[in-house]
A and B are shown apart, each in its own frame.
Chain A
Amino acid sequence: MSTPKMLNIDESAGIANLRLEKSLYPLDVVYGAAYVLIDRAYVRLDKDDKGRVLVEIQSKDNPSADGLNALAGEFSNELLTQALRRKLTMQNKAELEAIVTQAIAGASGALLPGLMDDDDLDFLDDPLGIAVPWEEKFSKKRERNKKKGKRNEPYPGTTPKALSACSP
């Protein structure tokens, strides 16, 4: 079984031709690699009947076989780099979107959903009763007990047993 040749160099025309399998190199990857090279080479893309992408690379400076080989090798490496970058981007897409969303929301001063649920509360509202001083909260009960002639219980946490539990 012969291996299909991916690279062909036409030295007389000064052109390196690459044939890329669509399943291995998505179009985004090919575009990315070509873009990196276009300052040093002329790159033309084509497609064959099987959907494979054909890449024609022509050096701007060094049309020799060595120069073409170097460009083709660099292009192949760049294909792999772009493919890896694409894979990582897709893997981390959800996290990236969440980070960007939070950054934009923070920069614009908007609150995220969930933090806006308490908007109808006034600053004086105290549904949990946490703003009532401790003495005030328990003094009413003590006064009621006094009137009824009942013996007041010590304040919570101040019984001898509780105090001894706190001591070292």
Chain B
Amino acid sequence: MSLTLELHRKLYRPAALETATEAFGELASISVERSDRYYVITFSDVDPDVEAVLTQEFANYVLAETVESRGTSA
């Protein structure tokens, strides 16, 4: 079973996405594709323990990395 997440390319930084992909690499096989407006992230071979929250946690992680890399932590 695979899961899909779309993140807007103008709101999320590619470096943040790369960091998150590495960090979540042990929980699923992750592939990233680019559409016109979105990064389309596909998760396959997902660890069943985290399946329910994987995409949300991943999105949060990318968001936090994006904010921190912009220097806007508060």
Residues of A near B7 (CB, < 8 A) are 44
The residue that A32 contacts in the complex, of B10, B59, B60, B72, with Cβ under 8 A, is B72
- How many Å from the CB of A103 to the closest CB on chain B? 19
Q: How many A residues touch the partner, as a band?
A: 10 to 19
Please measure, in the bound complex, the distance between the C-alpha atom of A43 and the C-alpha atom of B61, giving whole angstroms: 10
Number of residues in B with C-beta < 8 Å to the partner? Answer: 19
Residues of A near B31 (CB, < 8 A) are none
Stretch in contact with the other chain, from A34-42, A125-133, A136-144, A155-163: A34-42
Q: Apart from A32-B73, A42-B57, A44-B56, what 15 extra A-B contacts exist at CB < 8 Å?
A: A28-B70, A31-B66, A32-B67, A32-B74, A35-B63, A35-B67, A35-B72, A36-B74, A38-B63, A43-B59, A44-B7, A45-B12, A47-B11, A47-B37, A85-B74
What residues of chain A have their CB less than 8 Å away from a CB belonging to chain B? 27-28, 31-32, 34-36, 38, 42-47, 53, 58, 82, 85
